[in-house]
Structure formats: C-alpha cells, structure tokens
Amino acid sequence: MIQKETAKERILRVASQLFYLEGVRAVGIDRIIAESGVAKASFYRNFKTKDELVGAYLNLRNMDSLSGIEATKERYPDEPAKQLYGIIERLVSQMREPGFRGCPFINVLVEFPDSAHENHQEAMQCRVEQEREVALIARQAGARSPEVLAAQLKMLYGGAFIEAYTNKSTLNTEYFYEAAKLLIEAQLPAKPSCIE
C-alpha cells in the first residue's frame, strides 16, 4: 500500500511553498492550516511553534540545495572545474523558473533582522554550509584562494537572485553567468587566455 502523506508532511509541503512564494511573516498559521486541510490542533501537535515550522522549512530548502550540489558533483566526477560551472548553470536555470522568488535563506535573514532570532541564525547557517561546499570544490579545482572565490560567488549569486526576483528579464541571468565566469577564470590555473 502506498504510504499516505501524514499531516506533518502535508503541513511542511504547503508551508514551504507559501513561505517561499509570499514570505514567512506574511503567511499566517491559519492560512497554512486552511490550505493544507489540517486542523489547528494537528498543526500544534506536530510543530511546537511557528518558528519550529520555519526551521523545518529552512532545513528542507537546505537539503534541496546541498543535494543539488551533490548531483552536480556526480555529473562531472573528478572534474572540479566543470563542477563549478555546473553549479553556476544550475543557479541560472533556477532563476529562470516561473515560480522563482529569490533565495529562501536571504529572504528569511531579511524578514528576521534580529541576529539573535533562531530563524535568522538557521538561515545564516544554511548559507555557510553552501559556501563551504563551493569552497571545497574550488580548492579541488586548484583555485588560488578557494575561500575568496567561494565568498565572491556567494555575493554575486545573492545579488543575482534578488535581481532575478525583481526583474524577470533573462538578460540578467546571462550577465550573472558571464560575471561568475570572470571570477572563476581569474582564480583557476590559467589556460593561457592572452594567446589567440
């Protein structure tokens, strides 16, 4: 028999969509309850507070991101340079999706400006983990300063996500790709680009 979706799973799935599309603060518990067809009591049996649900949402998005990076690594085994470009390409295609609404972690960071807030800290942690993964690949690819490259790509991608979110023109994704390429090429052991 096919396992039916539990109330908890349904809540998390619906909340994840709503939080991402409309913002965490803008979406209330009542809305989540209504759209997931769950009773309020069931909600609070599965999640102690709304913040706990937000934590689960962040965790879900983080797993998605990390497994996306993992998939890219497996696609180009032992070719870390290609892995880097693959990650950038994956970001580009994300930005072009219709439901794209920026980086969920940045959004939560801005929605909860208090750096002591648990959601703020969790979102920050997610970004750190991603950066660490990229730095690792950059190191394997022979980047001169892998941490610097990872930090620079993180900045560029953060801003690009905001741009892609507020301006649907695909031009920006191309500009993003070109800029990322420049940053990567400046760090990788040069294929001699001056000779041509």
Q: Does 60 bind its own copies (CB under 8 A)?
A: no
Of 82, 90, 101, 139, the one binding its own copies (CB under 8 A) is 101
Cα-to-chain-centroid distance, residue 29: 24
**Part in contact with its own copies (CB under 8 A); list of ranges 5-13, 30-38, 59-67, 148-156:** 148-156
Q: Does 14 bind DNA (CB under 7 A)?
A: no
Q: Does 106 bind DNA (CB under 7 A)?
A: no
Structure token pair of residue 29:
């518990």
Which residues, numbered 149-168, are part of the site for its own copies (CB under 8 A)? 151-152, 154-160, 162-163, 165-167
DSSP 89-135: HHHHHHHHSTT--S-HHHHHHHHS--TTSHHHHHHHHHHHHHHHHHH
Structure token pair of residue 156:
């560029």
CA end-to-end span of the chain, whole Å? Answer: 63
Cα-to-chain-centroid distance, residue 148: 19
Residues that bind its own copies (CB under 8 A): 21-23, 25-26, 101-102, 106-107, 109-111, 113-115, 124, 127, 148, 151-152, 154-160, 162-163, 165-167, 171-172, 175-176, 178-179, 182-183, 186, 194
